[in-house]
């Protein structure tokens, strides 16, 4: 593999807690993941990104890290993590882990030390502790999960948490914090990790002098990532991937300068409506942002924070936005699956790297009817039960068999799986050439041979149709119209997201054609 393996990689996102359970306690773990490595190798992915695997009280699904240098006991041990990295390497699969620099857990030693040391101590300087205004918090910033962004401690001071109260924000103006994370990066690179996904990457620097809430995208973050890049460069072939949600593409591009991150998630495509002109605008914008700085675009259809594509694309509103989540909006899942299949062929054909969130390759729908008392996402409680939150896309995977737990575990899964998933197990889909899984496998195989990094050329196409060609002569054509359209001239059909009607491409269908 080459130095620039990441530019065109297909990266599979493992939400470990829900992937596969190796010991029957209902919680996914490293033993389960290791036993399923052949599945991922067969699927044809180049790397695995794991959501946080550190010891954690799980107030936010592991994004509340209690120890950055160890493994959550319910997931396994550090020795097992090292074995996993080696076994994956032996199959040609790289490992990317999640680092959470904006905040830790309130059970992390640093925070416990800060509580014990009291106001004015060096220990408190690692976080944002402050006096309030009488009985009110220091300012009126709101938590991203709802409610105030400050929580009071018994001695009267308040601390900042942009997310849940169990996730105190670090003070990145403190050189000790900078040093600590440099050391954490080295710790994992030394253990063979190939890349780091940086959580909430744009939020690290706060401006408390501002009149309003001011913590997104301050220039100071770039100094931090330039420091990280020096470390990853020392190791070679190790990459930094930013979770950077920013509406302004010029600001976004700054994170991808040659001395900063290698790539960042492009959420624009995922957020757009299912509509030809919208998606074309998104592709053009993405390319225009990335090409001038020489960074490869990334394509993301889903992750553990957003509704499953099959459900999203079957709704009356097919876009996604954090403020208006459309949770629970009814969905036509047959239509949604058709579109999700077409979207997958488009995303796989576009130039750059690709992310596939576990279960996307099985076409799992969002689980909208999790019983309220089982919901775990802090969004649900912090929003005072107005936002159901993200549990619906985090339900354990169905592997095999006719009923829950579908080979996921021998015990009871931590979130219940719908009985209706029996046709969606990996086993059932492996045996079915027309399944979503078979489509992903075929697509990833062709993608590995001739797509990935590079550029595209738009082809003339009727309204409501997107058509582009890649360097190899592969053309991807997607029809968003209600009626079928004629295929452009071609030398053969390589793959289609649904049945073709002779030389016609039906509605909400995409096809890969061999052209001259």
Q: Which residues are catalytic?
A: 199, 243
Interface pick for ligand NOJ out of 29, 46, 60, 194 (rule CB under 6 A): 60
State which residue, 24 or 120, has the beta carbon closest to Ca ion.
Answer: 24
Q: Is 231 helix (H, G, I), strand (E, B) or coil?
A: helix
Distances (CA, A) of 139 to 133, 171, 212: 8, 17, 9
Least spacing, CB of residue 100 vs ligand NOJ, in Å: 6
**DSSP state letter for 65:** -
State which residue, 202 or 279, has the beta carbon closest to ligand NOJ.
Answer: 202
CA dist., res. 212 & res. 190, Å (int): 41
State which residue, 30 or 279, has the beta carbon closest to Ca ion.
Answer: 30
Interface pick for ligand NOJ out of 305, 361, 391, 508 (rule CB under 6 A): 305
Q: Which residue has the tokens 């240098």?
A: 69
State which residue, 170 or 399, has the beta carbon closest to ligand NOJ.
Answer: 170
**137-139-140 Cα angle (round to 5):** 95
State which residue, 181 or 512, has the beta carbon closest to ligand NOJ.
Answer: 181
> Residue 31: what are its φ and ψ, rounded to 5°?
-60, -45
474: nearest Cα among 506, 507, 447, 502:
447
Residue showing the smallest CB distance to ligand NOJ in the complex: 63
Interface pick for ligand NOJ out of 63, 128, 188, 228 (rule CB under 6 A): 63
Interface pick for ligand NOJ out of 100, 342, 349, 475 (rule CB under 6 A): 100
Interface with Ca ion by CB under 5 A: which residues? 21, 23, 25, 27, 29
Residue 391 lies near ligand NOJ (rule: CB under 6 A): no
105: nearest Cα among 43, 49, 157, 63:
63
Residues 199-218 that bind ligand NOJ (CB under 6 A): 199-200
Among Ca ion, ligand NOJ, none, what does residue 221 contact (CB within 5–8 Å per kind)?
none
84: nearest Cα among 357, 76, 359, 185:
76
- Residue 391 tokens read as 């549990």
Contact 265, 241 (CB under 8 A): yes
Least spacing, CB of residue 458 vs ligand NOJ, in Å: 32
Among Ca ion, ligand NOJ, none, what does residue 25 contact (CB within 5–8 Å per kind)?
Ca ion
* Cβ neighbour number for residue 112 with a 10 Å cutoff: 14
C-beta contacts of 181-184 below 8 A and 24+ residues apart: 181/68, 181/99, 181/101, 181/228, 182/227, 182/228, 182/231, 184/68, 184/69, 184/99
State which residue, 60 or 260, has the beta carbon closest to ligand NOJ.
Answer: 60
Residues 265-304 that bind ligand NOJ (CB under 6 A): 304
CA dist., res. 288 & res. 267, Å (int): 15
Among ligand NOJ, Ca ion, none, what does residue 237 contact (CB within 5–8 Å per kind)?
none
Please compute Rg for the chain using Cα positions.
23
- Residue 502 tokens read as 């002779």
Among Ca ion, ligand NOJ, none, what does residue 21 contact (CB within 5–8 Å per kind)?
Ca ion
Among ligand NOJ, Ca ion, none, what does residue 27 contact (CB within 5–8 Å per kind)?
Ca ion
Least spacing, CB of residue 267 vs ligand NOJ, in Å: 11
Among ligand NOJ, Ca ion, none, what does residue 110 contact (CB within 5–8 Å per kind)?
none
Among ligand NOJ, Ca ion, none, what does residue 508 contact (CB within 5–8 Å per kind)?
none
Residues that bind ligand NOJ (CB under 6 A): 60, 63, 100, 163, 199-200, 243, 304-305
């Amino acid at each position: 593999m080459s130095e620039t393996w990441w530019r065109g990689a297909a990266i599979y996102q493992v939400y470990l807690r829900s992937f596969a359970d190796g010991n029957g306690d209902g919680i996914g773990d490293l033993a389960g993941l290791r036993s399923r490595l052949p599945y991922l190798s067969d699927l044809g992915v180049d790397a695995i990104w794991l959501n946080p695997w550190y010891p954690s009280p799980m107030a936010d699904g592991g994004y509340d890290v209690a120890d950055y240098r160890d493994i959550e006991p319910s997931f396994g041990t550090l020795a097992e993590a090292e074995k996993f990295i080696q076994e994956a390497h032996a199959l040609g699969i790289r490992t990317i882990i999640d680092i959470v620099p904006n905040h830790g857990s309130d059970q992390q030693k640093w925070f416990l030390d800060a509580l014990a040391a009291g106001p004015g101590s060096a220990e408190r300087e690692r976080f944002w502790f402050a006096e309030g205004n009488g009985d009110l918090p220091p300012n009126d910033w709101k938590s991203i999960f709802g409610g105030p962004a400050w929580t009071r401690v018994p001695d009267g001071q308040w601390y900042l948490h942009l997310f849940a109260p169990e996730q105190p924000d670090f003070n990145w103006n403190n050189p000790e914090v900078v040093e600590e994370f440099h050391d954490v990066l080295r710790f994992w690179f030394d253990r063979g990790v190939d890349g780091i996904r940086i959580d909430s990457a744009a939020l690290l620097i706060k401006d408390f002098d501002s009149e309003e809430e001011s913590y997104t995208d301050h220039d100071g973050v770039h100094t931090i990532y330039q420091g990280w890049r020096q470390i990853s460069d020392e190791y070679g072939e190790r990459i930094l991937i930013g979770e950077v949600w920013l509406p302004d593409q010029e600001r976004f591009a700054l994170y991808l300068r040659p001395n900063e991150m290698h790539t960042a998630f492009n959420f624009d495509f995922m957020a757009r409506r299912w509509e030809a002109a919208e998606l074309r605008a998104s592709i053009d914008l993405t390319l225009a942002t990335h090409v001038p700085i020489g960074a490869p675009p990334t394509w993301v259809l889903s992750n553990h924070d957003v509704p499953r594509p099959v459900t999203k694309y079957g709704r009356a509103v097919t876009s996604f936005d954090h403020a208006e989540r459309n949770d629970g909006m009814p969905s036509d899942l047959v239509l949604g699956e058709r579109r999700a299949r077409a979207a997958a062929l488009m995303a796989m054909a576009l130039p750059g790297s690709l992310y596939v969130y576990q279960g996307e390759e099985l076409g799992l729908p969002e689980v909208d009817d999790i019983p309220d008392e089982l919901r775990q996402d802090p969004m649900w409680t912090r929003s005072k039960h107005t936002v159901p939150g993200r549990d619906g896309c985090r339900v354990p995977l169905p592997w095999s068999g006719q009923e829950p737990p579908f080979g996921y575990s021998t015990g009871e899964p931590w979130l219940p799986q719908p009985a209706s998933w029996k046709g969606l197990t990996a086993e059932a889909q492996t045996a079915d050439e027309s399944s979503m899984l078979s489509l992903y496998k075929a697509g990833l195989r062709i993608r590995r041979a001739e797509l990935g990094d590079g550029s595209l050329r738009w082809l003339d196409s009727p309204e409501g149709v997107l058509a582009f060609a890649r360097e190899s002569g592969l053309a991807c054509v997607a029809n968003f119209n209600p009626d079928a359209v004629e295929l452009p001239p071609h030398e053969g059909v390589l793959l289609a997201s649904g049945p073709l009607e002779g030389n016609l491409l039906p509605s909400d269908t995409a096809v890969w054609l061999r052209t001259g």
